[in-house]
Structure 1
Amino acid sequence: MRKRTVYAWGVAILCFVVLMMVTPAIPQSQAYHDFADKRRFLGIPNMLNVVSNFPFLVIGIIGLVLCFYRNYFKLRLQGELWGWTCFYVGVAAVAFGSAYYHLKPNDARLVWDRLPMTIAFTSIMAIFIIERIDERKGTISVVPLLLAGIISILYWRFFDDLRPYALVQFLPCIAIPVMAILLPPMYTHSTYWLWAAVFYLLAKVEEAADKPIYNWTHHIVSGHTLKHLCAAMVPVLLTLMLAKRTIETERQSLLQIWKVSWKTKVRSNGSEEETASYAAVSVVES
């Protein structure tokens, strides 16, 4: 098993090195800082983009409290506690980092916006490894993944190259939904992971459509403000999942459950059609 782990890490590192060699650097576009909604209220510049981060603080604090208050989430493993603690710390810190950045958007402040988000991304990846692949490997991976995220931010800041950060951000967005569907879970309520992925995808769409949404809403709200609110739904959904879930006695992946459900539905529909056909023939004969 250890050899497989070493091989897996070796392949991953080799793929990363090759990717860095064959792809061009991605500098930070200064147009990114040009948000649609620049309105000032109560003396606060870009106010809606600033205050829309408040939900992150609320859900981050709630999550931290429930992690430690009489173990409300019933976290059985030390690695789970570390992972979820790092996640909620990152979520709460997003409120401060993103608000600080939006007060005066520039590259230097953007570091403090992206750093807590990266902590949340990488800790979630470690949690998923614990739940879906191997408890020990997932626990060991918490610190290396956090370091990888922090290094990706530093690499971007010093070399103006977003490739490592993009990999750290978007790889979990692809890997987590795929693993949620294909790998059997340790706990119930796995569909919450998929709903969280949907809201995050919606947030990225709103971020890309910042100015069009601002125009469509007649300058009431911008896409970036809505992006903050949708992104905050991710920790909200995961918190609900933690509060509701129990240990899964029959570990089946969502794909297996969907297959069984689909086959049952097909058989049920087939039986109904046969019954209806038989009843129609009986009526004609009588």
Structure 2
Amino acid sequence: MKPWIQHLPLIVTLTLSGAAIVHGPIAQLPDYHNFADQSLLFGIPHFADVISNLGFVLVALWGLARLAPCTRHESIANGWAGYRLFLIALLLTGVGSSYYHLAPDNARLVWDRLPIALACGGLLAGVWGDTRNRSSTVPSVLLAIAAVLSVGWWYVTEQAGAGDLRPYLLLQGLPLLLIPLWQWIHDRPRAERLAFTYALAIYALAKLAELGDHPIARATGMLSGHTLKHLLASAAAAFIVAALIRRIRQVPLGVKLPPTAASHSTFSTINKTTSH
């Protein structure tokens, strides 16, 4: 692999950041809070948009229950600080998004966007730790701060009458590009790369569904684009959690991964070693 390839993630990050600066402020859509789901069921307004957030909560609890007892497991130890942030943020996304959709406005939207930004930061930190074989604690802290600042920047500028979503959107977009690049450059196992690819592809579909909120509602007659976004994003998170759980099943606790393990699609080398 050519040496400059190692710097490709940094080049991508700087390019996108530069493009955002050149582009100028990106404002929130004026009718953003006008969602297609206007249902009222069991006294809950916007019922489908609210209840569909349960998926985030269930996936987060599943991940925490299965992975938290295995934080020292060699296969997730480096990335755990990031993945822990991701899972906690995913849980908070379910709560914050439900709170927002009960009565959508900018003040409540902060509590929807903040955990989403934290989840993106956590996922970036987790994969960075995996691919670099280094603790993701410091990147997790830095990216958590960046997440808070990105949402804070939007809210302050929105209150001033010139809302700017650039930092928030950048933090959401970077995982879609950096994670596949890191995994390719550092030759992560094929099954792991596929799982993350599926997850990121589903999340991209979720963002498209969000943009088509009203058209999708008209086409289906029962499911709005924003509700579909919640369901797809939950499914994307489930792919990631399943991939992490698969790791701790494949490698016995206490067995250290050799430096070459990342170049194989399975952990056959470890299994052979421990079988004798």
Unaligned runs of 5+ residues in structure 2 are: 1-6, 158-162, 252-256, 266-276
Q: 2:188 aligns with which of 185, 189, 198?
A: 185
CA radius of gyration, larger in: 1
TM-score scaled by length of structure 2: 0.79
1:48 counterpart residue number: 48
1:87 counterpart residue number: 86
Task: Give, in whole Å, the separation in 2 of the partners of 1:17 and 1:202.
Answer: 23
TM-score scaled by length of structure 1: 0.76
Task: Give, in whole Å, the separation in 2 of the partners of 1:165 and 1:224.
Answer: 19
125-134 or 7-16, larger mean C-alpha shift: 7-16
Q: 1:244 aligns with which of 235, 239, 246?
A: 246
Task: Give, in whole Å, the separation in 1 of the partners of 2:141 and 2:121.
Answer: 9
Identity of aligned residues (%): 31
Find runs of 4+ consecutive structure 1 residues off by over 2 angstroms. 7-23, 72-81, 177-183, 186-190, 245-254
Q: How do residues 65-214 of structure 1 correspond to structure 2 at under 5 angstroms?
A: 65-69=65-69, 71=70, 74-75=73-74, 78-136=77-135, 138-159=136-157, 160-185=163-188, 189-214=192-217
Residues 73, 46 of structure 1: alpha-carbon distance in 2 compared, 3 angstrom cutoff: farther
1:283 counterpart residue number: none
Task: Give, in whole Å, the separation in 1 of the partners of 2:8 and 2:197.
Answer: 26
2:271 counterpart residue number: none
- SS of the counterpart of 2:104? coil
- SS of the counterpart of 1:95? helix
Higher normalized contact order (CA 8 Å, seq sep 6+, divided by chain length):
2
Residues 11, 196 of structure 1: alpha-carbon distance in 2 compared, 3 angstrom cutoff: closer
Residues 115, 252 of structure 1: alpha-carbon distance in 2 compared, 3 angstrom cutoff: same
2:39 counterpart residue number: 39
Deviation at 1:36, TM superposition (A): 1.0
Give the count of matched residue pairs: 246
Residues 210, 75 of structure 1: alpha-carbon distance in 2 compared, 3 angstrom cutoff: farther
Report if aligned partners of 1:84, 1:123 keep a CA contact under 8 Å in 2: yes
Report if aligned partners of 2:79, 2:127 keep a CA contact under 8 Å in 1: no
Code of the aligned partner of 1:57: V
Deviation at 1:76, TM superposition (A): 5.2
